């Protein structure tokens, strides 16, 4: 095996003559990111006071919201362009105008999304790459002690109005809106909504319905089905028509009885299918569990014993399970997480027992059902993690995000955590608590590719969550020869912050394609005046 | 040494001394024999169509495990396997029809 140079010129020559091994053309091209890194930092850029959300997955737009969370502002990322007349340009400092936000981003438009009493949910954004549509959400204030009326689950808060806005990002035109009234959808970090290709699944926690919508090319949001109380489209019609028949026959019986027994007060309650039946999805789940347990034994007495112990003993708990979270596995299958009411809205859902089911929307059958700490589910998670991310087949680069199923280094990291864990079932439960995954929560930037760079994932990672921030720069070290430090990302001011004890959090927005990243560091000052100081740095390849 | 490789320097000049590719009598022996299969197992069926599986690998694995569980249940447990007995010649019992209840 001959040694391939890591020099960029040598790599370009190699690219001219060598064909990469089959199926590795993306990985081969990505090696260039070892040479082109965002090593230069512009500290404390003066930028508009917006809440920057993320770059779209194709790198065309930067999404941000106004500080009052009423308006959407979209920027186009562009590169610096200036000319230098001197001969030795590299040693010159950048001109002053290069250190401005406007040199890197051009504002395209500013669109008001929220009306007076609504706020844009700043952690919610979904991007449909094929049509360049963006989905945003606005909501009114949350009501915590909402009454459980009209089929709502007790204990889930209610929001008076949640609106999903579908926008064409090229010009900010609002294409369609979908409103949910007196409902609750978990909007933080896209948890209650999943986008796969053109299908959108919205989980109404309050009414326990999974709404499946389709985003048409014209920009319309079309309702496809609602899974929850009813599974098939004609279930409701069937039950209602039977209910009418039952109501009529009961009325006749009532009249007869009253005629015969005038003295006895016999009241026949009107049958109400909504109250006496369990919801469609719950019936599917319970019957699947029953049949599974029944079929495990062939001896009748053992069967009955098993059913009594494992099913009927916990029957009420199973009936009280609610849908927590949903994701698509493909166009026909959903991965649904069930749990108790307490865990549905709490932040620390790990302590509550949870179950995961695979549901086929077309046949309306449950395919499999696991407890949250099941070995089998963990094996599937370990081996096929990247298929759980359910990225659309149309989007190429989203399919190359590093996970422990497609990257040896990530797998080694996972195995080392597993070996260090004190209890294997606790470890499995912790890993599986991330299922179902939230949609578009990972950055496709090649700088997070574990086969290229090694970095401390407590300080920075592909997930778009806030991380603890330190004054030390975050190092990105090459995985391959020569295993050296390649570049550093330092959030916050260049000299470090004034108060070392103040709690600082930071988050990073990496462009998916260009060697460009934004880091935002927020210092939370606890003492009055309660102020959040935000520092924005731009990291790029000079 | 007169070979296709020419007079290139080599570590040991005798390495390629056996090679005589310019020799026409050897060239026919150098060509490997074409393999003709003697069985008909690798003839594909006439209506075979190869295309991409629509279900992704995760779902295939989930369905496979679910079907495995059903198949395991369908297998009789070892304790219940009894040796087969030949059916009796008179398959219809003595009383081939329902009998009236014996009145008490």
Does residue B102 carry a pLDDT above 60?
no
Averaged pLDDT, A406-422: 91
Q: Tell me if residue A163 falls in helix, strand or coil.
A: strand
Q: Which residue would you say has higher pLDDT here, B12 or A46?
A: A46
| Weakest mean pLDDT among A91-100, A315-324, A395-404, B86-95 | B86-95
Residue A103: pLDDT band by 50, 70, 90 thresholds? confident
Q: Which residues are CB-contacts of A125 (< 8 A; sequence separation ≥ 6)?
A: A53, A54, A63, A134, A135, A136, A190, A440
Q: Tell me if residue A315 falls in helix, strand or coil.
A: helix
Please say whether the beta carbons of A245 and A234 come within 8 A: no
Residue B77 pLDDT: 43
Residue A349: pLDDT band by 50, 70, 90 thresholds? low
A296 touches chain B (CB under 8 A): yes
What is the Cβ-side half-sphere exposure of residue B83, based on CA atoms within 13 angstroms?
A: 2
| Weakest mean pLDDT among A143-147, A353-357, B61-65 | A143-147
Bridge partners (DSSP) of residue A120 are A138
Pairwise CA distance, residues A161 & A50, whole Å: 24
Instruction: Please list the alpha-helical segments (H only) found in chain B.
Output: 24-30, 57-74
Averaged pLDDT, A133-157: 84
| Weakest mean pLDDT among A182-186, A391-395, A426-430, A455-459 | A391-395
Please say whether the beta carbons of A213 and A200 come within 8 A: yes
Residue A224 pLDDT: 92
Residue A267: pLDDT band by 50, 70, 90 thresholds? very low
Does residue A425 carry a pLDDT above 60?
yes
Contact across the interface for A358 and B62, Cβ inside 8 Å: yes
Residue B27: pLDDT band by 50, 70, 90 thresholds? low
| Weakest mean pLDDT among A167-171, A228-232, A511-515, B25-29 | B25-29
CA distances from A529 to A439, A520, A526 (A): 37, 21, 8
Q: Which of A507, A503, A508, A490 is nearest to A531 (CA)?
A: A503
Q: Tell me if residue A319 falls in helix, strand or coil.
A: helix
Contact across the interface for B59 and A376, Cβ inside 8 Å: no
Residue B81: pLDDT band by 50, 70, 90 thresholds? very low
Residue A209 pLDDT: 93
Does residue A89 carry a pLDDT above 50?
yes
B56 touches chain A (CB under 8 A): yes
Residue B6 pLDDT: 62
Residue A528 pLDDT: 63
* Count of CB pairs separated by less than 8 Å, A with B: 35
Burial of A335 (0-12, 13-18, 19+ CB in 10 A): buried
Would you state the structure tokens that stand for residue B42, as one six-digit string?
């690798």
Most confident of A162-176, A418-432, B68-82: A162-176
| A402 CA: distance to closest CA in chain B (Å) | 17
Contact across the interface for B62 and A380, Cβ inside 8 Å: yes
CA distances from B94 to A178, A332, B100 (A): 75, 58, 15
Please say whether the beta carbons of A298 and A280 come within 8 A: no
User: Which of A295, A376, A384 is the closest to B58 by Cβ?
Assistant: A384
Q: Which of A156, A66, A53 is nearest to A508 (CA)?
A: A53
A228 — phi, psi (to 5°)?
165, -90
For chain A, give the number of residues: 542
Would you state the structure tokens that stand for residue A336, as one six-digit string?
């649904």
Mean pLDDT of chain A: 85
Averaged pLDDT, A443-466: 91
Contact across the interface for B62 and A292, Cβ inside 8 Å: no
- Axis-axis angle for helices A375-383, B57-74 (nearest 10): 150
E strand map for A362-497: 365-371, 453-454, 467-468, 474-478, 485-489
Query: What DSSP designation does A448 have?
Result: G
Can you tell me which residue has the tokens 């599937």?
A380
| Weakest mean pLDDT among A172-186, A225-239, B6-20 | B6-20
| B103 CA: distance to closest CA in chain A (Å) | 33
User: Which of B58, B65, B73 is the closest to A387 by Cβ?
Assistant: B58
Can you tell me which residue has the tokens 């694995």?
B61
Residue A265: pLDDT band by 50, 70, 90 thresholds? very low
Pairwise CA distance, residues A135 & A177, whole Å: 9
Bridge partners (DSSP) of residue A173 are A168
Pairwise CA distance, residues A25 & A111, whole Å: 40
Bridge partners (DSSP) of residue A168 are A133, A173
Please say whether the beta carbons of A229 and A214 come within 8 A: no
What angle is formed at CA A246 by the lines to CA A245 and CA A252, rounded to 5 degrees?
Answer: 95
Residue A220 pLDDT: 93
Residue A269: pLDDT band by 50, 70, 90 thresholds? very low
Which three-class secondary structure string do you get for B57-71?
Answer: HHHHHHHHHHHHHHH
Contact across the interface for A387 and B56, Cβ inside 8 Å: yes
Residue B79 pLDDT: 42
Please say whether the beta carbons of A473 and A521 come within 8 A: no
Please say whether the beta carbons of A241 and A223 come within 8 A: no
Q: Which residue would you say has higher pLDDT here, A529 or A29?
A: A29
Pairwise CA distance, residues A226 & A209, whole Å: 6
Contact across the interface for A368 and B66, Cβ inside 8 Å: yes
Residue to mutate among A333, A356, A362, A436, with most B CBs inside 10 A, is: A333
Instruction: Provide, as residue numbers in chain B, all residues whose Cβ is less than 8 Å from the Cβ of A296.
Output: 73
B70 touches chain A (CB under 8 A): yes
**Residue B78: closest C-alpha in chain A:** A298
Query: What DSSP designation does A299 have?
Result: S
Does residue A509 carry a pLDDT above 90?
yes
What angle is formed at CA A439 by the lines to CA A433 and CA A442, rounded to 5 degrees?
Answer: 85
Q: Which residues are CB-contacts of A206 (< 8 A; sequence separation ≥ 6)?
A: A146, A152, A153, A156, A157, A158, A182, A183, A184
Give the number of other CB atoms < 10 A from CB of residue A110.
Answer: 14
Pairwise CA distance, residues A442 & A70, whole Å: 26
Residue A196 pLDDT: 92
Instruction: Please list the alpha-helical segments (H only) found in A298-407.
Output: 300-306, 315-319, 341-345, 375-383, 385-388
Please say whether the beta carbons of A354 and A374 come within 8 A: no
Pairwise CA distance, residues A401 & A389, whole Å: 9
Instruction: Please list the alpha-helical segments (H only) found in A39-170.
Output: 101-104
Does residue A6 carry a pLDDT above 60?
yes
Residue A302 pLDDT: 85
Pairwise CA distance, residues B73 & B91, whole Å: 31
Residue A262 pLDDT: 42
What does DSSP say about strands A133-139 and A126-128: parallel, antiparallel, or unpaired? antiparallel
A380 touches chain B (CB under 8 A): yes
| Weakest mean pLDDT among A41-50, A83-92, A366-375, B31-40 | A83-92
Residue A351: pLDDT band by 50, 70, 90 thresholds? low
Q: Which of A149, A165, A77 is nearest to A115 (CA)?
A: A165
């Amino acid at each position: 095996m001959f040694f391939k140079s890591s020099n960029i010129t040598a790599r370009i020559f190699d690219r001219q003559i060598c064909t990469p091994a089959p199926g590795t053309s993306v990985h081969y091209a990505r090696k260039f990111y070892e040479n082109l890194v965002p090593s230069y930092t512009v500290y404390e850029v003066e930028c508009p006071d917006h809440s920057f959300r993320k770059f779209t997955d194709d790198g065309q737009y930067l999404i941000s919201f106004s500080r009052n969370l009423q308006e959407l502002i979209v920027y186009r990322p562009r590169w610096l362009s200036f000319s230098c007349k001197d001969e030795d340009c590299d040693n010159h400092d950048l001109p002053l105008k290069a250190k401005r936000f406007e040199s890197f981003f051009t504002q395209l438009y500013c669109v008001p999304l929220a009306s007076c009493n609504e706020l844009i949910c700043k952690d919610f954004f979904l991007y449909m790459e094929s049509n360049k549509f963006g989905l945003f959400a606005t909501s009114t204030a949350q009501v915590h002690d909402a009454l459980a009326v009209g089929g709502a689950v007790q204990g889930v808060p209610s929001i008076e109005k949640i609106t999903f806005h579908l926008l064409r990002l090229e010009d900010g035109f609002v294409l369609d809106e979908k409103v949910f009234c007196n409902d609750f959808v978990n909007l933080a970090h896209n948890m209650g909504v999943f986008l796969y290709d053109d299908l959108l699944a919205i989980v109404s926690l309050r009414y326990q319905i999974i709404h499946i919508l389709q985003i048409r090319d014209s920009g319309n949001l079309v309702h496809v089905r609602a899974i929850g109380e009813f599974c098939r489209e004609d279930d409701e019609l069937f039950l209602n028509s039977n209910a009418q028949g039952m109501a009529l026959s009961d009325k006749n019986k009532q009249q007869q009885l009253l005629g015969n027994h005038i003295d006895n007060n016999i009241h026949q309650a009107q049958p109400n299918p909504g109250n006496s039946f369990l919801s469609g999805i719950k019936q599917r789940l319970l019957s699947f569990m029953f049949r599974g347990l029944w079929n495990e034994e062939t001896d009748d007495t053992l069967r009955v014993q098993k059913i009594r112990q494992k099913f009927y003993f916990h029957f009420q708990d199973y009936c009280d399970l609610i849908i927590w979270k949903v994701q698509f596995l493909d166009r026909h299958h959903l991965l649904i997480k069930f749990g108790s009411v307490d865990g549905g809205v709490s932040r620390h859902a790990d302590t509550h027992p949870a179950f995961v089911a695979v549901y086929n929307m077309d046949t309306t059958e449950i395919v499999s059902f696991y407890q949250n700490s099941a070995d089998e589910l963990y094996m599937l998670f370990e081996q096929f993690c990247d298929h759980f991310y359910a990225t659309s087949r149309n989007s190429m680069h989203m399919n190359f995000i590093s996970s422990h199923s497609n990257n040896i280094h990530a797998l080694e990291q996972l195995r080392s955590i597993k070996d260090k864990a004190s209890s294997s079932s606790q470890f499995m439960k912790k890993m599986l608590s991330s299922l179902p995954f939230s949609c578009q929560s990972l950055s496709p930037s090649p700088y997070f590719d574990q086969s290229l760079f090694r970095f401390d994932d407590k300080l920075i990672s592909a997930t778009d969550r806030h991380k603890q921030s330190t004054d030390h720069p975050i190092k990105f070290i090459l995985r391959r020869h020569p295993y050296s430090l390649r570049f550093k990302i330092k959030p916050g001011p260049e000299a470090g912050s004034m108060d070392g004890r103040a709690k600082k959090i930071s988050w990073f927005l990496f462009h998916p394609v260009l060697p460009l990243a934004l880091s935002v560091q927020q210092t939370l000052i606890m003492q009055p005046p309660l102020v959040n100081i935000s520092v924005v740095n731009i990291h790029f390849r000079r | 040494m007169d070979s296709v490789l020419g007079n290139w320097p080599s570590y040991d000049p005798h390495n390629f001394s056996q090679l005589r590719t310019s020799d026409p009598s050897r060239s026919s022996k150098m060509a490997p024999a074409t393999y003709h299969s003697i069985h008909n197992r690798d003839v594909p069926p006439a209506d075979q169509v190869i295309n991409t599986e629509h279900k992704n690998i995760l779902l295939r694995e989930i369905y496979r495990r679910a079907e495995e569980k059903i198949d395991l249940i369908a297998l009789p447990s070892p304790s219940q396997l009894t040796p087969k007995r030949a059916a009796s010649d008179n398959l219809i019992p003595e009383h081939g029809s329902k009998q009236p209840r014996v009145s008490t």
